[in-house]
């Protein structure tokens, strides 16, 4: 009996020690990584509701005006993989801005990633994104009514919530992010929705994807919800892996088609020329894909 009590006591000490180590690791990681966001960003946007919003901006080499895309990072925070994807998307003819929604938080350590996600107020994120949107809308090389929002994981959820908050958003692309919504809430959306999910994602069941699609349909919002068979959560990683081919490239090309269809479908202000890219071969027609899971059919 005494041995059992000692074993339980030692187990409790070990568990408490691990909890303490994990708790201390969060501020330690923040301390050693305090310059990560500054090293990745090239713009500071004035913010009437808080400190300036740091962001990475990538512009096309071709003359504007261009549609714009707000690209929101995963729960890690703003990192080099998002910068790479933003740059690649700018090469397709979009002005892309990747804001830091964690106000300086960027990590590769899961405990801190979880902490900074649950400790960040979604309302604060929306007001920071309002500052980003306002900055974009005043840029002479941006088509102000052709601004989309997209994101990955935490960023996918945030993108959808921001589109519900800001009804001027022209389109929303969600990479394996989920938010509880009703058809009534979704009716305020101003544009179509693209959802890309992994068929083997254990964190977002296929039933939730189907429910989101059903709610969007009930709200009358054009949408494409795609499951990529066998793919886990967060399967679209960095631009180098995307260019290597496979499901990552398929998902990226689907995004490009969606953005072409939704953001390049109107003429530029004060211009008789339509907003069209030179290469339209990969265009995906929303009317064809609506209500379908395009992968695995």
* Residues forming the active site: 153, 201, 233
Centroid of chain to Cα 45: 19
In this structure, are residues 174 and 195 in contact, taking their beta carbons and an 8 Å threshold? yes
The tokens for 193 are: 């929705």
Question: Can you tell me which residue has the tokens 């290469």?
Answer: 279
Phi and psi for 125 in degrees, rounded to 5?
Answer: -60, -45
At residue 113's C-alpha, the angle toward residues 111 and 116, to 5°, is: 105
Distance CA 212, CA 181 (A): 8
Residue 49 CB neighbours (<10 A): 12
């Amino acid at each position: 009996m005494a041995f059992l009590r000692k074993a339980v006591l030692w187990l409790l000490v070990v568990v408490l020690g691990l909890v303490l180590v994990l708790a201390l690791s969060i501020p330690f990681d923040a301390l050693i990584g305090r310059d990560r966001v500054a090293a990745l960003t090239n713009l500071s946007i004035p913010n009437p509701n808080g400190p300036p919003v740091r962001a990475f901006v990538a512009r096309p080499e071709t003359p504007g005006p261009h549609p714009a895309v707000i690209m929101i990072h995963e729960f890690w925070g703003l990192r080099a993989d998002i910068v790479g994807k933003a740059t690649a998307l700018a090469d397709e003819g979009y002005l892309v801005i990747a804001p830091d929604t964690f106000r300086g938080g960027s990590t590769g350590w899961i405990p801190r990633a979880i902490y900074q996600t649950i400790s960040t107020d979604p309302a604060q994120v929306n007001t920071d994104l309002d500052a980003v949107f306002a900055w974009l809308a005043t840029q002479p090389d941006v088509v102000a009514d052709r601004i989309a929002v997209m994101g990955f994981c935490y960023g996918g959820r945030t993108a959808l919530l921001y589109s519900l908050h800001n009804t001027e958003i022209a389109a929303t692309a969600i990479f394996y992010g989920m938010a509880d919504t009703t058809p009534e809430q979704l009716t305020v959306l101003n544009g179509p929705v693209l959802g890309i999910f992994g068929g083997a994602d254990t964190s977002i069941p296929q039933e939730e994807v189907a429910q989101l699609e059903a709610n969007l349909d009930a709200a009358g919002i054009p949408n494409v919800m795609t499951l990529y068979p066998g793919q886990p959560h967060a399967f679209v990683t960095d631009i180098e892996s995307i260019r290597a081919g496979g499901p990552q490239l398929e998902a990226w090309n689907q995004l490009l088609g969606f953005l072409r269809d939704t953001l390049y479908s109107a003429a530029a202000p004060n211009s008789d020329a339509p907003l069209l890219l030179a290469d339209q071969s990969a265009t995906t027609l929303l009317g064809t894909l609506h209500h379908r899971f395009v992968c695995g059919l």
